Amino acid sequence: MKYRYAVPGDDFSMAGKASAEVKRILGQLGIDPAIIKRTSVAMYEAEINMAIHAGGGIAEAEISPERILITMADEGPGIPDIELAMTEGYSTAPEWIRELGFGAGMGLPNMKRNADEFRLESAVGKGTTVTMLIRLAPAPVAGGGGRA
């Protein structure tokens, strides 16, 4: 099952709709509440990032009995130094965003922490794609090479 949502870049009060929708779907699928929470935290952070830094983008959620795969793709400014961006507390968000309780520099680390697998691809001037995988079934045993 695949769901696709446009995340608006001009109205950030609307950011969070996609993750809320995915949360509803996961609830109706009867998925473990703890996993739903991890998914919604990770996806919500990514959605907010898109709205703040990238002028919106596309959020996709692919759900199978084994895993939830969230892909967040934007055509924003891109991240010049990914390692720096992944540092807890590092933020390029403007002051007013911080005053709203966002932009504490915990977004990317938080996504990574809540996902079982996390990938960040970015090219300056082209955009950023964050891919997050959350496993539903136990991970395949070593040697199986279980890459999603």
Partner 1 sequence: MNPDGEAPEGPGEAAPRLFHSVKLDPDKCVGCTTCIKKCPTEAIRVRKGRARIIDERCIDCGECIRTCPHGAKKAVSDPLSMIAGYRHTIALPAPSLYAQFDERWSIDRLLSGLLALGFDEVFEVAEAAELVTARSRGLFEAGPAADLPKPLISSACPAVVKLVQVRYPSLISHLAPLLPPVEVAARIAKHVLHAGEEGVGVFLVSPCAGKVTAARSPVGYARSALDGVIGIKDLYLPLRAVLGQAGDRIRSRAGRRGVEWARTEGEADALGERRSISVDGIASVIGVLEALENGKLKDVAYIEALACPAGCVGGPLTVENPYIARNRLRNRAEALPENAPPLSYEPPSDLGWSEAVAPRSALALDPDMLKAMIMMEEMDQLAAALPGLDCGSCGAPSCQALAEDVVRGVAVETDCVFKLRESVRELAGRLLALEELKPPGLDKD
The residues binding partner 1 (CB under 8 A) are 1, 16, 19-20, 23, 25, 27-31, 33-34, 36-37, 40-41, 44-45, 63, 65, 101, 104, 110, 136
114 among known catalytic residues: no
DSSP tag of 138: P
- The one-letter amino acid at 109: P
Nearer to partner 1 among residue 42 and residue 127 (C-beta)? 42
Nearer to partner 1 among residue 33 and residue 146 (C-beta)? 33
Query: β-pairing, 2-7 with 117-123?
Result: unpaired
110 among known catalytic residues: no
Give dist(CA 36, CA 123) in Å, integer: 30
Least distance (Å) between residue 65 CB and partner 1 = 6
H or E element, residue 120: strand 117-123
Catalytic residue (choose from 4, 24, 88, 98): 98
Tokens read off for 96: 């007013």
Least distance (Å) between residue 138 CB and partner 1 = 14
CB neighbour burial string for 44-64, b if at least 16 within 10 angstroms, e if fewer: bbbbbbbbbbbbbbbbbbebe
Nearer to partner 1 among residue 24 and residue 119 (C-beta)? 24
The residues that are catalytic are: 45, 49, 98
